[in-house]
Each structure stands twice: as structure tokens, then as C-alpha cells.
Structure 1
Amino acid sequence: MKISTGKGTISLPVLLAIWSVSAVTSLPGLAVSPILGDLNTIFPSASDLEIQMLTSLPSLLIIPFVLLSGKLSVGRDKLRILVVGLVIFLLSGIACLFIRNITALILVSCILGIGAGMVIPLSTGLVVAYFTGEYRVRQLGYSSSINNLTLVLATALSGYLANIDWHLSFLVYTLPAVSLVLSPFLHRQRSTPEPAASDQMRNKTIDRPKLVRLMALYFFITYAALTITFYAAFLVDGYHLPKTFSGVLISLFFLAIMAPGLILDRIIGIFKGYTNVAAIAMIGAGLFCFGIFRDRGMLVVGASLAGFGYGLMQPLIYDKTAIIAPPRAATLALSFVMAVNYLAIMLCPFLIDTFTRLTALHGDRVPFLLNGMLTAGLALLAFRRRDDFTLGLDASYYKR
């Protein structure tokens, strides 16, 4: 079976190898989440600082190694970097299965973060290298869907395994073994050079002003959308709903992120130049559903809308990032954009808490109403600047 790439064809095993890397990038931190509430019991002598380090330090290390991987990819063998990152990730994950003290777990989790950081930019970098034009947009959508579907399934699996034995939750970190098994297919069939007529070939270097604007946009929509994952539990508790309902909302949020990638070209065909406007408006509407309504139905609608809007914008931002860089530097440009994603994840609760302290606003609805208003403002700006490269979507995306 041959898969069209816009510049030739690739075999199905090569496509599966690319998809498997997309699945791996959603794993960091998943195994620790189900045991967070039990860490004081599992490690009775662990300090609060050590517990905080276990949850935050590996994520912090991902960011510089995402950037390092992007830098190393320029003029070097991307597949070698990928394999090194996967091996570090896999061996660290296996080691976590046998660790008995929190200091060792922190150390190994940090090494795992290093491996994950090396792999993350290549998950989209491989798509950009092997595909072009509308084929690349479609595959970036599939990559986003696979990433988020794996996130939901792996979270459920790690939670189930943690109920048997806390060590078993780290089995989800062995998924890179699949990518390693499939990686020889990438070596056998290398990516074809970008066609001379490609938008990428117009660039001699990365267009830095456009890159900065794309980074800012991605940072903001990630920060705004993740309000749901960080604050849904507090809102549900304040509404006196079952505590498990927050987990349902967060799962729906990530499933909704997955959905647009499966039909990305059809959605673009519907909204055309207003695609980003619609996506940003969906995120804002979803946040307002959380901030205004109390019933379960509207909370479900809110989680679905915010997730769908975010999932619609994510692959488009990746594709635009590829367009503004020459082929040899595309992964480097993507590494900057993907790094701000992790930066937004880390800073989201701190930014919201800082704002609430400065304004003396309190209440479980405040984070949702605040970011809903900011997102509504961005949607209005996107409507007024719908011909802009960053906030708009030109006709090349839907007149094909």
C-alpha cells in the first residue's frame, strides 16, 4: 500500500512509524498523575519539595531539550536524533518500573524528560519532511489526533494499572519501543526533497517575526484552553457535582481536541478564511460555558467547544511554522513553537493565580470568565485581521 505525500509516495510502515512518534509525545508525566494523591503514602519520608520536583522538574527539562533537538536537526541526521531520544525515553521508562525511592525516581524522570524533549519536535518534523501542501496539513491533523487520543487512552490505562501496583503505571512509558521497532522503515525510505514550487523553498532562513507571532498565538490559546484542565475540578466541587465529573470533562476536552484533526480539510472547506476566527471563538465560548452555567450539559458543551477549537488551530499553527522556514530548518522552527506549548502548560496556573491576587477577584468561575473575555478579544482581532498570516487563513488552504 502506497501513501501519497504531495511529492511522491511512502509505504504504510513508514506512515505507521511517523504516527507512532506522534503517539509517544503525549506520554511525559502521565504515569505520575494517577499516583499524585498517594505519593506521601508510597514515599513516607518524601518532603513536599521532592514531590513538587517529581511533578515539575521533568516537564521543565523538556523545554531546553526540545530546542536542542531542533537545533541539532539542522544539517544533521534527524533519524539518529530520534532514535537516541527514543532509547533514552524507553530505558528511563523501564527503569521507573523498578525504582524504590523518590530521589531515584526524580532523577530517572528527569532523564526521561530529556529523551522526550529530543523526540517531541521530530513528531511534527517528520510529517513536514515527508509531506507537503494539502497532504502535510491533513497529516498534521492526524498527528494531532493521534497525540490526543493516546493521551486519553494512556491516562486511563495508567490509572487502571496504578490501582494494581503503582509501579505498573510506568508501563505506558514503554510505548517508544513501538517507534524503535518501526524506525528502520524510516531509514530505508528517506523523505523526498521539497518541490521547487513549495512555499518553504521561498525562504533562505526562518522568518523570525512570523515565528514570534505564531509562538505568541500558540502560547495564548494553550494557556487559555488549559484553564479547563487546571480548574475544572475546583469548579465541579464548587457546584457540588460528583468529583469524578471533572475527570469526565477533562477526558471530553482532550477527545474534542482529537476530533478536528480527523476531518481537518472538510472543516477548513466550511469556514475557509474564517477558520481561525471560528476556532478562537469556540475556545472562548467553551470557557464562558464553564464560567456562566452550572448544569452538567452546558459544562460538557463547554469542554467540547474549547477542545474542538484548540484542536482545529493546533495543526494549522504547525503547518504555518513549516511554511516560514526552509526545509532544513523546519524542525528547528517547530521546536520553538512546541517549546512555548510546554511553557504555557507550566505557567498557566501561575499566571491566573497572579492575576486573581492582583485584582482581588475570587471564585471558581474567575479563571474561566477572565480567559473567556481575553479569548473573545482575540477572536474579534482575528476577525478584523483575517487576511493576516498569523490570525487568518489564505486561500491556498481551501482552494485546492
Structure 2
Amino acid sequence: MNPAPFKPSKWTLLFLMLSAMMILMGGAAVAPALPLISQAFPDASDAAISLIVTLPALAIAITGIFLGMLSDRIGKIKVLAASVAVFTIAGSSGFYLNSIPAIFVGRFILGIGIAGIICTTSSLIVSYYDGITRARVLGYQAAAMGLGVVILEVAGGLLAGISWRAAFLIYLLGVVIFAGILVTMKEPVRPNVGKRREASGESGAASDESVGALYETFPATPLLMAYITLFMGNLLFFLMPTKFPYLIAHMDAARIMGENTALTAGIFLGISGCASALLGIFYGRIAWRFHRYTILTISLLGFGTGLCCLGFATSLVTVAFAVIMIGVGEGLLMPTILTWIAAITPQQFLGRAMGGFSVSLNIGQFASALAAVPVIALVATYSNMFLAFGCVALVLAVLYVVVLIKEKYYTVPLAAQNDLPLVSQK
């Protein structure tokens, strides 16, 4: 006899969201302190210092698939709890480490912890919730990621005002999350694949469960487009924590709080996070009304508009508009990719699929800093760099318009495309 499935409570949802806060900005929480770290280690180049933010992404890219497979094998809760513990210990290590190489090692280990958090939180949401509720909770997850930007970046900026070392203490938030995971979550029941096949064969109506059962094996090829889109979106988005503080540091209008431009940068990154969070809260309604390709087109237009505005910005008003548009882009990108993955992945492969999600997410983050180096060398200034990447985002938006037009020739219902229950169409 199979055990009764675990019913998540409001406390479960709360700690899932607190865990999700670490997904997007866990590696970049100390981004506002990068200029100060550059001053503390003058022999290290700006590109080397930016590895403090991007090295966790490299670790996630290397280990994400393996941790996803491990969570499928031994259990998602075990991997999540262990990952949050690693996140807390390795993340705060920069507070007491005294050399750049040692800090790099700590940041790489931090990335392993974040990889486990990404794989397990997303797959737990898909396992715990169905249909419209799932889309709504995935939107809440995107909102939590945006809220994580607000809390981590603003707090990082405030702590960096004390000292660059103090910024690393923000990772001690993991202690509270670790306790909440142990108290409020249980391992979801693994699906009976044979019974599900039989049931889906008997039913003539498509449901949100049967959407994920379209594939009997791991759907690597169908997932590839989602992974590539996520890679490009996060390559663009992660220009913000790695390069935006340097743009602000060279902007005279940003010195409204004195010479502590780290706090100013943190505040604007927090504004971007607020925009992302608001989009996440309403994502369930957006997903119900629009095709996923339409949503991704709007997301890329947000990135393109925001990055181009940063390229031309001479006032804080323009900067504020730019970071809001970039936040809109990220707030739409993340839940759309997650619902896409959930729609085509059988539950027994969710950990592995979310491992691929974490890999593409963080290769994009790591590649962001590397891609910026030759572009800055070519265009000479941070403003021109943001303008160049904004043009790339707009080109990608045009490509998705083409994909959307082609998709209209297919007859797959919109609700099935977005992993939502089908409704009668008039």
C-alpha cells in the first residue's frame, strides 16, 4: 500500500520560497562590495574580482545535473537540507578568509550548495502542486527570487558600508531556512509510472498530469530550447550584479549618498528585484492568458529595453526605469521556463530536469562575466557595453516573434502549452 501523499502547508510554502530566494542571487549577494574588494586586493583585476560573484555559477553548472540525479535517487529533502547547510557555511567563509584564492575556493563550494537548492526547490514545487496552483506557486517562486534580490543586494550594500567582509555575513540567513526545511517538509511520494501510463491511456481528455506524461523517458531534446533561452536570459541579467556596480561607481549622479556608491548600487538592484517579484505574484494570471512564447518575447524586450537605457543613462530616473524593465524581464523568464520544463518532464525525472535547469541558469551567469570582458575592451566603456548587450536581447526577442508566428500553425491548446487545465474554447 502506497503512503498517503504529503500535503504542503502554508509553512511549507513559506520555507520553499525562502529557499528560492537564494537561487538567483545567492552567488551575487556580495556584488555591491565588489569595488571595495578591488580596493582591498589592488593586485587583482576587476575581471578576477568579478569571479567572486560568478564562480558559484560555474560550480552549479558543473554539479547541477549530478545533484539533480542524486535527489531523484536518495530524496529531495535530504539534498535540500544538506545544500542549505553548505550554502550557510561556505557563503559566510569570505568573512574570515584572508586571500583571494581562499575566497575563490569558498565561493566554488558555495555554488555546490546553491546547485542543490535550485534542483530540489523547483522539483518539490512541481511535485507538491498541480495545474493552476502549480503555475501560481512557480510565480511565487519567481517573486521570491526577486525579493531575494531586494533583501540580499540591499543588505549586502548596507553591510558593505561597514566593511567588505561584513557583506559575507548575509549568508547566515541559511541557518533559519535549514531549521524550517527539517520541520515543515516531507519527501513527496514517487509516482507509479505504470499506473499513470494506464490511466493516461484510458482518458480521452488532456489534464495537467497527462501533459507531463507525454514523454516516457527523459525528454532531452524538447528541453534544449528551454535551456538555451534560460542561458541567454541569465547571461544578460547577470550583467547587473557583476557590472552595474561599476557603472554606478563612475556616475556622478549616483553620489547622492556620498562616496558609498555600493549602497546606491544595492538599492537599484533591489528595485529591479521588486519589479521581478511583482511580476511573479501575478504570473499565474499571465500564464493563463498568454502563450509561453509571447511571455518570453516580452521578457526579452524587457531585457533589451532596460540594458539599452542603461547604455544611455545620465540620470537616476533613467537608471530606475532601466532596472525595472530588466526586473520585468527576469520576473517573466524564470517561471515561464520552469512551467515549460514541468509540462514535458515525467515526475520521476524532475530532479534531473531541474539539474539541467540549474546548469543552463548558471552557465549563463558564469558566461556573463566572461562575455563582458571582450565587449568592454571593444567598446571602451560600461555604458557602451550595456547598450551592446541590449541590442543582443532585442534581436533574441525578434527571433521569438518568428517562433511564435510559426507556433500559430499548430493546434496544441494554449492551456496545455502552459501546463494548465484545459478549458473550453469558444
TM-score by length of structure 2 reads 0.78
Q: Residue 146 of structure 1: CA displacement?
A: 0.8
Structure 1 residues 276 and 233: alpha-carbon distance in aligned structure 2, compared to 1, 3 A threshold = same
Matched, 1:57 2:55: yes
The structure 2 residue matched to 1:314, chosen from 334, 337, 356, is 334
Distance 2:374 2:409 in 1: 32
Matched, 1:384 2:384: no
The structure 2 residue matched to 1:262, chosen from 258, 262, 281, is 281
Give the equivalent residue in structure 2 for 1:204: 216
Q: Residue 284 of structure 1: CA displacement?
A: 3.1
Is contact 2:81-2:182 (8 Å) kept?
A: no
Is contact 2:219-2:345 (8 Å) kept?
A: yes
Superimposed CA distance per residue, residues 53-108 of structure 1 (whole angstroms, 9 cap, x where no aligned partner): 64543432122122221121223211111122122222324544443444443333
**Which structure 2 residues correspond to residues 238-257 of structure 1 after superposition, within 5 A?**
241-242=253-254, 244=261, 248-257=267-276
Distance 2:409 2:134 in 1: 21
Is contact 1:236-1:242 (8 Å) kept?
A: yes
After TM superposition, the structure 1 stretch with the greater mean CA deviation from structure 2, 238-247 or 248-257, is 238-247
Give the equivalent residue in structure 2 for 1:343: 363
Is contact 1:85-1:119 (8 Å) kept?
A: yes
Structure 1 residues 292 and 309: alpha-carbon distance in aligned structure 2, compared to 1, 3 A threshold = same
Q: Residue 25 of structure 1: CA displacement?
A: 2.5
Structure 1 residues 132 and 33: alpha-carbon distance in aligned structure 2, compared to 1, 3 A threshold = same
After TM superposition, the structure 1 stretch with the greater mean CA deviation from structure 2, 210-219 or 7-16, is 7-16
Is contact 2:142-2:335 (8 Å) kept?
A: yes
Counterpart amino acid of 2:347? P
Is contact 1:204-1:326 (8 Å) kept?
A: yes
Is contact 1:277-1:382 (8 Å) kept?
A: no
After TM superposition, the structure 1 stretch with the greater mean CA deviation from structure 2, 222-231 or 80-89, is 222-231
Structure 1 residues 393 and 24: alpha-carbon distance in aligned structure 2, compared to 1, 3 A threshold = farther
Counterpart amino acid of 2:284? D
Counterpart amino acid of 2:335? P
Distance 1:55 1:160 in 2: 18
Give the equivalent residue in structure 2 for 1:370: 391
Give the equivalent residue in structure 2 for 1:3: none
Distance 1:354 1:105 in 2: 25
Q: Residue 22 of structure 1: CA displacement?
A: 0.9
Superimposed CA distance per residue, residues 143-166 of structure 1 (whole angstroms, 9 cap, x where no aligned partner): 111122122212221222233344
Is contact 1:50-1:102 (8 Å) kept?
A: no
Distance 1:73 1:236 in 2: 41
Distance 2:114 2:310 in 1: 33
Distance 1:221 1:14 in 2: 29
SS of the equivalent of 1:25 reads: helix
Counterpart amino acid of 2:398? G
Give the equivalent residue in structure 1 for 2:225: 213
Q: Residue 395 of structure 1: CA displacement?
A: 2.8
The structure 2 residue matched to 1:158, chosen from 156, 164, 169, is 156
Q: Residue 261 of structure 1: CA displacement?
A: 0.8
Structure 1 residues 211 and 388: alpha-carbon distance in aligned structure 2, compared to 1, 3 A threshold = farther
Is contact 1:161-1:168 (8 Å) kept?
A: yes
What percentage of aligned pairs have identical amino acids? 21
Distance 1:293 1:34 in 2: 19
For the aligned residue pairs, the C-alpha RMSD in angstroms reads 3.5
Distance 2:96 2:372 in 1: 38
Structure 1 residues 284 and 381: alpha-carbon distance in aligned structure 2, compared to 1, 3 A threshold = farther
**Which structure 2 residues correspond to residues 219-230 of structure 1 after superposition, within 5 A?**
219-228=231-240
Is contact 2:148-2:273 (8 Å) kept?
A: no
Distance 1:293 1:42 in 2: 29
Distance 1:355 1:141 in 2: 34
Q: Residue 260 of structure 1: CA displacement?
A: 1.0
**Structure 1 unaligned runs (5+)?**
1-6
Matched, 1:146 2:131: no
Q: Residue 327 of structure 1: CA displacement?
A: 0.3
Q: Residue 286 of structure 1: CA displacement?
A: 3.2
Give the equivalent residue in structure 2 for 1:69: 67
SS of the equivalent of 1:206 reads: coil
Matched, 1:122 2:120: yes
Distance 1:393 1:259 in 2: 27
Give the equivalent residue in structure 2 for 1:4: none
Is contact 2:295-2:336 (8 Å) kept?
A: no
Is contact 2:35-2:245 (8 Å) kept?
A: no
Q: Residue 330 of structure 1: CA displacement?
A: 1.1
Q: Residue 329 of structure 1: CA displacement?
A: 0.7
Structure 1 residues 275 and 369: alpha-carbon distance in aligned structure 2, compared to 1, 3 A threshold = closer
Is contact 2:33-2:156 (8 Å) kept?
A: no
Q: Residue 248 of structure 1: CA displacement?
A: 4.8
Q: Residue 320 of structure 1: CA displacement?
A: 1.0
Superimposed CA distance per residue, residues 186-212 of structure 1 (whole angstroms, 9 cap, x where no aligned partner): 555745859755122332112222111
Distance 2:78 2:290 in 1: 40
Is contact 1:145-1:262 (8 Å) kept?
A: yes
TM-score by length of structure 1 reads 0.82
Counterpart amino acid of 2:278? A
Structure 1 residues 289 and 385: alpha-carbon distance in aligned structure 2, compared to 1, 3 A threshold = farther
Q: Residue 372 of structure 1: CA displacement?
A: 4.3
SS of the equivalent of 2:254 reads: coil
Counterpart amino acid of 1:201? A
